[in-house]
Amino acid sequence: MSASSLQAHLEEAAATHTGLVRAKNEDSYGSYRLLATGTADTASRGYLYVVADGMGGHDYGDVASALAVETLCASYYNQPPVINTAHGLAAAINIANTAVYDKAQTLRRPGGRPMGTTVVCAVMHNEQLTVAHIGDSRAYLLRDGTLQPLTNDHDWATEQMQLYDLTREEARQRASEHGRRGALLRVLGVEPDVHPDIRTTDWRTNDCLLLCSDGLHGLVPDTTIAEILAEHPPRVAADKLIEAANAAGGRDNITATVIRRRSAHAAPVLPLPLLLVALLVLLAGGGIAWAAFQQENPMAATSGDTTTPTVAVATPVLSFEAPLDATELTVPTPERANLPGPAVVIPSLVPPTRPLPPPQP
């Protein structure tokens, strides 16, 4: 499938919210749409989406996440087409790490904590989905009613799970006892070098991808996430995921980007106001036609079978699979450079819900 054909079959939306506790939003998100029209080489590089979560309690978390998103988007498309997607993502993440690290050296206050951010990103190119991450922002894939995590958190609790064969709850309890709850083992921008986990899978019709910060997955169970993604189009799903996290306490900033690959024959989902207008027009037209029919056929209103039809609603079967094994890549550390790029959207300056703009014709 060509890149233009793939874009035509992508439904996408993003939403972010400060939550109910934090004073400001340190999450950022972006995509290939951040670049000026026509400068994103989607034909050879695919469609990129990014979510970053600035480290709470550290200096300039919002600056770190915004700079990471901006630099990653710009640098990913500023590479030779011969570089494959996985290596291209790794190189872009390393360039973003350098940009955030260098910026942190100029902004760090005496006694302050270094700024840094998590990042999770995905590229849809042809029939493949490539996901890369650092930290505890996650990627989930919903396929045929099955919600599959595509990332393993780079935090102390997850490491304990792997070392001692603990459950998630046991690992969280252990982390709390050792004062390590929420402690990240890999962060973008804190060290000169960074090593993302990168994995590739196929990208199928009706697949739905979620990129999110821990303000969502830390409060909303995977079963609820799966139900929302299965039952709603991306625009509605992104809003409902934010609502679910706030209903569970909203202890952190919350960001969700949802991308679904439609069938080639599926009609685009219309916004709710247009659907309501269309429904009213259909009802009005149907009423007029029925009234005219009754005048010509007085017995029609009382003749025939009046049994109400039964509608069956199937509930999707939800199951969970272990994340795929990480693909280790050896990528040379790029030279340090502050790549020029467009201004990134900083969430504190935008409304709580901000869907991505529709595809360009």
Q: What is the pLDDT of residues 196-222, one digit of tens each?
A: 999 999 999 999 999 999 999 999 999
More confident: 337 or 298: 298
In a domain, 275, yes or no: no
pLDDT at 345 over 60: no
In a domain, 291, yes or no: no
pLDDT at 291 over 90: no
pLDDT, residue 138, reads: 98
Write down the pTM of the prediction.
Answer: 0.74
In a domain, 101, yes or no: yes
Lowest mean pLDDT, pick from 19-28, 127-136, 275-284: 275-284
In a domain, 34, yes or no: yes
Q: What domain count does the chain have? A: 1
In a domain, 279, yes or no: no
In a domain, 178, yes or no: yes
In a domain, 295, yes or no: no
CA-CA distances (angstroms) from residue 125 to 49, 70, 204, 273, 353? 12, 20, 11, 33, 27
In a domain, 298, yes or no: no
Tell me the DSSP string of 177-204.
HTT-TT-BS--BTSSS----EEEEEE--
- Residue range of the domain that includes 194: 3-267+318-349
Ranked by mean pLDDT, the top range of 62-66, 264-268, 292-296, 325-329 is 62-66
pLDDT, residue 355, reads: 45
pLDDT, residue 135, reads: 96
Q: What is the CATH number of the domain that holds 105?
A: 3.60.40.10
The whole-number average pLDDT for the span 41-61 is: 88
